[in-house]
């Protein structure tokens, strides 16, 4: 066991494992059982603010310290930054994947305004009259209910966009505004050009606000990936501040009532044809770590890479070859 002080929060993470030999499991992998957070300095220098002390869930006496993997910057800055970089990788790979043909856009759809206002018009010349917008009527039941229905509204808009462009692909990131309203930022690929006025009409019918941006992205320009991943990181840390109302079981009365509750939204998602997935990113990182660990072990042993060429390589001490 590692000698350290642990804040107990025992639970099992069947999705995690570490790969040193496990005497209780023929697969050789320890199933992770989290004992709690490590208090004080980590036994190993991990770039994590709240490392976890873990033991083998298979019953063997092995233990280790692992990164917490928290996505919230307020909980762990290093782990949150790693998560943001992985999300950026997924967004960027999709942009690269679809750069050869078609049209790339950065689409932003917003929550309706709280009050009556003049409608935002794509390409407005700042002189022509604008009609009074009725998108504020979507806020009649309050921001909490609208936020809770935002994903349903996106499904409507996505279906409408698919009618315009059946092969359309997207990466969707959530932004939470200061007022607590949910916005969506989407790098979008379409085999046919999209018209901002038409897309605005579809967004209004789906229940979004009239303010909408549809900006072209140049092939090979990856700035949109960094832009949307920044909002994903922010949205991950903002759930407690986002108004959200949903049907909740009142445990005192046994009734299901409409109540203010913790926001439940996915901070990002992508269409199946977008490109790289987060699973693929994790697998690539894991594969690179295995190769790096093997190389470090070879260097530590003073050996050449694991290919026998019939040549004896000198040890790290500098002894001459034999």
Say if residue 29 is in the same domain as residue 169. no
Say if residue 61 is in the same domain as residue 157. no
- pLDDT value of position 147: 96
Say if residue 183 is in the same domain as residue 45. no
Q: How far apart are CA 147 and CA 241, in angstroms?
A: 12
- The partner residues of 38 in beta bridges, in order of sequence, read 6
- pLDDT value of position 25: 67
Number of domains in the chain: 2
Q: 43 in a domain, yes or no?
A: yes
* pLDDT tens for each residue of 85-123: 999 999 999 999 999 999 999 999 999 998 999 999 988
Say if residue 57 is in the same domain as residue 104. no
Say if residue 43 is in the same domain as residue 126. no
- pLDDT value of position 301: 73
Q: Are 296 and 305 in contact (CB under 8 A)?
A: no
Q: 119 in a domain, yes or no?
A: yes
Say if residue 19 is in the same domain as residue 141. no
What are the Cα distances from residue 139, in Å, to 83, 142, 181?
33, 5, 11
Say if residue 143 is in the same domain as residue 228. yes
Say if residue 184 is in the same domain as residue 93. yes
Say if residue 45 is in the same domain as residue 156. no
Closest CA to 32 of 79, 3, 86, 68: 68
Say if residue 125 is in the same domain as residue 270. yes
Q: 311 in a domain, yes or no?
A: no
- The partner residues of 103 in beta bridges, in order of sequence, read 190
| Residue finishing a domain among 235, 252, 276 | 276
| Residue finishing a domain among 276, 296, 316 | 276
* pLDDT tens for each residue of 134-150: 999 999 899 999 999 99
User: 17 lies in which domain range?
Assistant: 5-66
The CATH number for 166's domain is 3.30.70.1910
């Amino acid at each position: 066991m590692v000698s350290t002080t642990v804040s107990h929060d025992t639970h099992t993470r069947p999705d995690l494992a570490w790969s040193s030999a496990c005497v209780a499991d023929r697969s050789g992998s320890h199933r992770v059982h989290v004992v709690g957070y490590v208090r004080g300095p980590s036994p190993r220098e991990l770039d994590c603010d709240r490392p976890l002390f873990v033991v083998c869930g298979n019953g063997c006496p092995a233990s280790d310290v692992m990164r917490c993997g928290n996505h919230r910057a307020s909980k762990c800055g290093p782990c949150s930054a790693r998560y943001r970089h992985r999300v950026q990788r997924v967004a960027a790979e999709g942009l690269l994947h679809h750069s050869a043909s078609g049209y790339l856009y950065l689409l932003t759809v917003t929550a309706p305004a709280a009050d009556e206002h003049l409608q935002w018009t794509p390409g407005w010349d700042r002189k022509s009259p604008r009609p009074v917008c009725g998108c504020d009527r979507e806020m009649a039941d309050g921001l909490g209910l609208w936020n809770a229905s935002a994903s349903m509204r996106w499904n409507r808009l996505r279906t409408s966009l698919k009618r315009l462009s059946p092969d359309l692909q997207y990466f969707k990131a959530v932004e939470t505004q200061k007022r607590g309203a949910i916005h969506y930022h989407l790098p979008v690929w379409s085999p046919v050009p999209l018209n901002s006025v038409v897309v605005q009409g579809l967004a209004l019918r789906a229940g979004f606000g009239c303010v909408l941006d549809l900006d072209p992205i140049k092939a090979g320009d990856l700035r949109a990936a960094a832009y949307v991943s920044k909002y994903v990181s922010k949205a991950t840390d903002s759930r407690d501040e986002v108004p959200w109302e949903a049907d909740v079981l009142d445990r005192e009365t046994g009734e299901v009532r409409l109540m203010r509750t913790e926001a439940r939204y996915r901070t990002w998602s992508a269409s199946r044809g977008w490109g790289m997935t987060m699973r693929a990113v994790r697998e690539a990182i894991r594969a690179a770590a295995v190769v790096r660990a093997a190389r470090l072990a070879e260097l530590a042993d003073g050996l050449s890479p694991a290919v026998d060429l019939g040549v004896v390589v000198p040890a790290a001490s500098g002894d001459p070859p034999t």
